[in-house]
Chains A and B, each alone.
Chain A
Amino acid sequence: MVKLTSHILQFSFTRFLLSGGFNTALTYALYLVLLEFFPYQISYSIAYASGIILAFILNRFFVFKSHRGLRSILLFPFVYLIQYLISMATVWIWVEKLHQHEKLAPLIAVAITVPITYFFSRFIFKQKGTKQKNTLLQPKFLRLNKVLLIIKKTSPRISVSHTLVTFIVVLLILAPTFLNQLIPLHDYSHHLARTIILSDLENPVYSQFYKQGSLLLPNMAMEIIAVPLAHFVGAETASRIFVMLSLLSMLFGTMMLHIKGFLLGLC
């Protein structure tokens, strides 16, 4: 039995499925606990963010047992973004175009997104052509970032510290959006109102006053992300999540450009 288990666990996809199940169970439990203290929107948001952090840790230490430094940290949230967009498209096609039962839609979406998420995660965690145990001092990785090279040479533990500091900074930056129901930005009320109306356009009152316009427009980031999301978590939470994504996008976008800019300019 032990032999069989260890054989099965040799495959990273099996470990990926196991860690996914474990993550889902744990974040769901966390969601239920948080519900005792916070409204469902805040509970779901905290549980979702914790799920991403836990997924990162599980992928790093259990599934792939390797990582590609900052590249893994920067790209990982985007795996979830891609997963979300593909899920949304799948659910939409299943319900709206194929006219199948909507309760089955999430299961179909999971079946499609699991292998895709696996391959994306593998791409960002696994180093090319190596089964490395100690990734920190490998020449290939060192070429990626001259600054990190020196840090890692000096202290192999700094990578974990760096990851931890990044997560703490991210949580601190997002705290105001967790703690406040309304985001007091000048145009936010317009954005929120549009998200509410567009996600409920079949409502007789809204369909009396409003209609769907052209989608071939620029400046639609919030409509692309928050409106579909609103069907699952409500328009208010979806809009807050979009604000969080906007903050993270600036932070991680700058980090990405910084690292790659120096790869081009110096290495």
Chain B
Amino acid sequence: MLASAILFNTIFRFGFLNYIFGLGVAFFAAGLWLLMKPSFFRLLFTLLASILLIFLHFSAFGVFAVIVGSIEIHAASIRWQHKDFKFSTLQFLLSTTPFIITFVLFMLLSPTAEIIEKGFAYPNYLGAKPFGALYSILTDITWLNIAYFSSIATLFSYLLLTRRINISSSLSVALLLMIAALIMLPSSAMGNVFVDVRLGPAIALLFIATIDIKATDVNINRLIACLALILAILTSIGISNKWGEYNHQVSKIINVFDQTETGATIFSASSLPDPQLITDTPERRAAWNPSLKHIASYAVLYGPKFVPMTFANPQMQPLNVSDDYLAIKAFQGDNPRKTLNGIQLENFLLEIKANLVSGMWPTLDNVYVFVIGFDRIEKSFNKAMLGSWAHIVELNNDHVLIKFD
């Protein structure tokens, strides 16, 4: 239950929901796998679980493979000590076949395999991994982080000093392998970012699963239950309040889309700094209060619209943009256009205008540009440049909606 302290982590806040869901299912599947004795049925279960997990999230499949693989290595190493080398090696190799089959099927059948090397990159400095992993398990509420880590560290130290801790040997091998994976994996691959540090929450949760308490009396268990309850209450209050504030702020902004027509096309630009994983400065923390980078995608809450920024990649999502509109999607990309000054925004508007006029794009009825963080560039933006071909629909402190006439 102490795992509840890790739930609202940075990877969750980034909205990597497929991974988060898949991670839990991977742990659950590994728990079920542990229930089974080595048999054909367990191999079949491993294969089915691997296929399911790869559909949920590729990294979840990796986490499952690491846990199961490490337990198999642990078991094989024990058998090797008993001079059963040939048989145990064969059994270990056999246990890897479901993962190999799953991976081969993925490479043969999935369009994602075409971009397996896309964006393959390692961080520039080594500190990025441990720092990234540390920040990946934090919430965005400082007092809550302090409450979590001080209480869990105090409890863990007390239990360690009084020798009430048990460690699962097989899971500790899995924990070590997971840390090794964090070190070895690239920071981005297959179009995904934070491929390595997203293992931070997995490592933290695995650590919690690896340790146990020698409960010689009920009071220790009651103490831990109380701690879990207190942490859950603090989390609930802290996160609910924070989300309440964010909801108020976001709702006020996205109301602007109520003024756009059904079938409208909404381009997006942002003058705000992007939220970063490592929030070690006030500016970086402010970028999370709340993160507004992808806010334009909320436009579809106000009826059917076309927001080219919404993720729709043939190799990554089951939703694709129609062939006729691919040029528009390519122009916008998967993120808002970065407009750090008025001139960049003017250029963005002129590019859209040029494309609309040139006939390069199919005819679009109502075209808008939504800019978030407009207050940062308002002074350097020449509103007169809009002339007669566009006008401002709504100008607010932090955003502006411009319509092409």
Contacts and interface: CB of A to CB of B under 8 A. Distances in A.
A246 B24 contact: yes
Interface string B1-34: 1011011000011111111111111111011101
A175 B236 contact: yes
A131 interface: no
A187 interface: yes
Given A151-B215, A209-B322, A265-B170, A192 B294 contact: no
Contact of B4 (A169, A200, A265): A169
Interface residues of A, number: 84
Interface stretch (B93-101, B105-113, B347-355, B380-388): B105-113
B243 A172 contact: no
Given A184-B291, A190-B310, A217-B110, A253 B25 contact: yes
Contact of B295 (A173, A176, A189, A218): A189
Interface in A68-125: 74, 78
B246 A253 contact: no
Interface in A237-267: 242-243, 245-266
B273 interface: no
Contacts of A136: none
Interface stretch (A6-14, A28-36, A54-62, A153-161): A153-161
Given A180-B240, A219-B58, A253 B31 contact: yes
Contacts of A265: 167-171
B240 A211 contact: no
A265 B216 CA distance: 19
Given A221-B56, A250-B6, A205 B17 contact: no
Query: Which of A172, A214, A220 neighbours the largest number of chain B CB atoms within 10 Å of its CB?
Result: A172
Which bucket holds chain B's interface residue count? 35 or more
A221 B56 CA distance: 4
Contacts of B229: 165, 168-169, 172
B238 to A, nearest CB: 9
B162 interface: no
Contacts of A216: 109-111
A259 B297 CA distance: 41
Interface in B163-182: 166-171
Given A147-B215, A208-B322, A264-B168, A252 B24 contact: yes
B250 A247 contact: no
B185 interface: no
Contact of B205 (A74, A188, A250): A250
Nearest to B30: A257
Given A185-B15, A246-B12, A250-B24, A194 B312 contact: yes
B88 to A, nearest CB: 17
B311 A169 contact: no
B85 interface: no
A179 B243 contact: yes
Contacts of A183: 243
Contact of B316 (A180, A217, A256): A217
Contact of A213 (B22, B201, B235, B314): B314
A256 B30 CA distance: 8
A118 B236 CA distance: 34
A217 B317 contact: yes
B55 interface: yes
B233 A172 contact: yes
B225 interface: yes
B301 A196 contact: yes
Contacts of B315: 217
A162 B216 CA distance: 17
A150 interface: yes
Given A200-B304, A205-B263, A249-B23, A242 B297 contact: no
Contacts of B42: none
B79 to A, nearest CB: 15
A173 B218 contact: no
B209 A254 contact: yes
B304 to A, nearest CB: 4
A218 B3 CA distance: 26
A38 interface: no
Contact of B319 (A198, A242, A248, A257): A198
B369 interface: no
B48 interface: no
Contact of A184 (B236, B247, B305, B323): B247
A264 B15 contact: no
A217 B240 contact: no
Interface in A13-64: none
Nearest to A243: B17
A229 to B, nearest CB: 13
B319 A253 contact: no
A191 interface: yes
- Give the 9 A-B CB pairs with smallest separation, nearest first: A249-B24, A187-B15, A253-B27, A256-B31, A205-B304, A253-B24, A265-B168, A185-B15, A184-B246
Given A189-B294, A190-B15, 13 more contacts: A168-B232, A185-B17, A186-B13, A189-B296, A198-B319, A214-B111, A217-B318, A219-B58, A222-B18, A253-B26, A254-B27, A255-B209, A258-B209
14 contacts: A165-B1, A173-B4, A173-B236, A182-B298, A185-B291, A187-B14, A205-B304, A218-B112, A219-B112, A246-B21, A249-B28, A250-B20, A250-B205, A266-B212
